[in-house]
Amino acid sequence: MKYLRPFSYMALGALMMIGVWQALHSARAGEDNLKVYRQLDLFGDVFDRVRANYVEKPDEEKLVEAAINGMLQSLDPHSSYLNPKNFRDMQVQTRGEFGGLGIEVTMENGVIKVVSPIDDTPAARAGIMAGDYIIKIDGKSVQGMTLNQAVEKMRGKVGTPITITVLRKGRKKPFDVKIIRDIIRIKSVKHSIEGGDIGYIRITSFNEQTGPGLEEAIKDIKKKLGDKVKGYIIDLRNNPGGLLDQAIQVADDFLEHGEIVSTRGRTEQERYNATPGDLTDGKPIVVLINGGSASASEIVAGALQDHKRATIIGTRSFGKGSVQTIIPLGPRGGAIRLTTARYYTPKGRSIQAKGIEPDYVIEEELPPELKDKIDQLRTRGEAALPGHLKNDKHKGKEESGSLAYVPKDKAKDTQLQAAIKFLHGQDIAMMVKKPAAKEKDTQAKASEKPASREAQKPAAEKKEAPKQKAE
């Protein structure tokens, strides 16, 4: 008779335990699936009863869309369903270009008012001016249209004509202007020279044009100032975010090496590193943020702050520390925007429902006519949104959002003027509302070279980021 050796008994026992666990797991999975199918049966039952018994015949497509949206919005404030039209609009925003006229418009007294024509676009070449009122589009009155409906009518296939009827101050009668649509590129990056020797770069959103736009802006500033460049101001105030890969590229443009951001979800984790090459040649940088700076803006501000590559001036940012992935739904059209990960700054900070705290907290001075409206100008922040994700790193009191007012007159822009003084080596302590607890010596450090992180090695080559939105 042969006997099994002791380790053979153990192996047999282990196999039996694995078999039992697999059987239990399969049974539980089967029970879970059964529960899901029962819930879907319940949904089908309710849907059929609404179709059959509602007082008026319902729009079935809208019912399904509402149900999908309800499911996604129950997860968090940023997950949602995009029907085919909304999906196309979102793609237009992220591409940063579309077929249209090239005008910024708003709604005033039921008609469309031109805020400004965009330089070198069909509208500008046709003589459309800021302050013009558009009262008809292809002969149809805009009365009763929403702003989005009017914009949709003005956009269209490149090369197609459109006639708008314009009412202009100083002219007695409206007149028609025929315009041929062309490709319009949304400039998310604008720049100028401030204080005589400082490059000012305003980034309004993170779309596919942002990275190239930033490089062009820095190149132009260098061309105009040469060796006289004292430093750079990167204005991210009221920038709601956008594409993750563009935020990574912008931060990379100012860093030589080290981590930029990491994302962590249920199924995967990613870490994005800077590659050698600082477009500003190590010049001091100030980043401006406020309560309207969210997501991708916070990724850039957080990365440059953690590496002590930039000094952050302004007020606490919005606090949106999650990444949304756009998942197309195939031939049916549309897509879902689904929160798939949280992101973390190089030091492992999660800013979800917390925001980025500036190194120097400086608030804008409100003009007398706006002081009574301060609550309307203060963003609620991520922490105030119902159903928001919790911060998994910070267990204390949630706090995010702040004043989001920026004066149009740069001379009255307290935060901008503080940044200019800072880069000129002047003391801005008197402008600070409260000292930042973490960085007492930030002003002195701003003139130093970027801090290195010995534990990190630069990536051999830039890793292509997924098409995700950090909005």
Strand ranges, E, within 274-351: 285-289, 311-314, 322-328, 335-344
Q: Pick from 160, 112, 168: which is nearest to 140 by CA?
A: 112
Q: Is residue 194 part of a domain?
A: yes
Domain boundary among the residues 138, 157, 185 is at 185
C-alpha–C-alpha distance, residues 315 and 400, integer Å: 10
> Are 407 and 424 in a shared domain?
yes
Residue 335: CATH number of its domain: 3.90.226.10
Q: Is residue 296 part of a domain?
A: yes
Spell out the residues 6+ positions from residue 190 whose beta carbon is closer than 8 angstroms to its own. 201, 202, 204, 217
> Are 410 and 442 in a shared domain?
yes
Q: Which pTM value belongs to this model?
A: 0.77
> Are 140 and 283 in a shared domain?
no
Q: Is residue 110 part of a domain?
A: yes
> Are 361 and 312 in a shared domain?
yes
pLDDT of residue 441: 43
The identity of residue 290, as a single letter, is: N
Q: Is residue 203 part of a domain?
A: yes
> Are 289 and 321 in a shared domain?
yes
Helix (H, G, I), strand (E, B) or coil at 443: helix
> Are 300 and 346 in a shared domain?
yes
In the set 252, 306, 359, 413, the catalytic residue is 306
Q: Is residue 258 part of a domain?
A: yes
> Are 389 and 418 in a shared domain?
yes
Domain boundary among the residues 185, 200, 235 is at 185
What 8-state DSSP symbol labels residue 332?
G
Query: 431-434: which pairs have CB atoms within 8 A and are 24 or more residues apart?
Result: 431/360, 431/362, 432/360, 432/361, 432/362, 433/361, 433/362, 433/363, 434/361
Domain boundary among the residues 185, 203, 235 is at 185
- The answer to whether residue 230 is catalytic is no
pLDDT of residue 469: 63
Residue 228: how many other CB atoms lie within 10 Å? 11
Q: Pick from 309, 386, 393: which is nearest to 354 by CA?
A: 393
Residue 131: CATH number of its domain: 2.30.42.10
pLDDT of residue 437: 45
Tokens 């490089």 — which residue? 215
**Domain that residue 102 falls in:** 98-185
pLDDT of residue 95: 85
> Are 194 and 170 in a shared domain?
no
- Determine contact, residues 283/230, Cβ cutoff 8 Å: yes
Alpha-carbon distances, residue 88 vs 98, 184, 194, 208, 240 (angstroms):
11, 16, 38, 15, 19
Per-residue confidence of the chain (471 residues) as pLDDT tens digits?
A: 323 333 343 343 333 444 444 554 555 666 777 777 788 889 889 999 999 999 999 999 899 989 998 999 899 999 999 988 889 888 887 888 888 998 878 888 888 999 878 778 899 999 999 889 999 999 999 998 888 789 889 998 899 999 999 999 888 899 999 999 999 887 899 999 999 999 999 999 999 999 999 999 999 999 999 999 999 999 999 999 999 999 999 999 999 999 999 999 998 899 999 999 999 999 999 999 999 999 999 999 999 999 999 999 999 999 999 999 999 998 777 999 999 999 999 999 999 999 999 999 999 998 888 888 787 777 778 988 889 999 988 777 788 889 889 998 999 999 999 999 999 999 999 999 854 444 344 433 433 443 333 333 333 333 334 456 665
Q: Is residue 66 part of a domain?
A: no
Q: Is residue 311 part of a domain?
A: yes
C-alpha–C-alpha distance, residues 314 and 419, integer Å: 9
Q: Pick from 272, 274, 336: which is nearest to 309 by CA?
A: 274
In the set 80, 205, 295, 317, the catalytic residue is 295
In the set 136, 320, 354, 469, the catalytic residue is 320
Residue 299: how many other CB atoms lie within 10 Å? 30
> Are 257 and 158 in a shared domain?
no
Q: Is residue 18 part of a domain?
A: no
Angle, vertex CA 201, rays to CA 407 and CA 127, nearest 5: 75
> Are 249 and 130 in a shared domain?
no
> Are 208 and 157 in a shared domain?
no
Phi, psi of 427 (to 5 degrees): -75, 130
Specify whether the backbone of 109 is left (phi greater than 0), alpha (psi in -120 to 50) or beta: left
Strands 285-289 and 161-167 turn out to be unpaired
Structure token pair of residue 204: 């309004």
Helix (H, G, I), strand (E, B) or coil at 156: coil
> Are 169 and 239 in a shared domain?
no
pLDDT of residue 380: 78
What is the length of the chain?
471
C-alpha–C-alpha distance, residues 332 and 314, integer Å: 45
Dihedral of the CA atoms 69, 73, 75, 78 (nearest 10)?
Answer: 120
Handedness of CA 306, 308, 242, 240 (dihedral sign): positive
Question: What is the number of structural domains in the chain?
Answer: 2
What 8-state DSSP symbol labels residue 143?
T
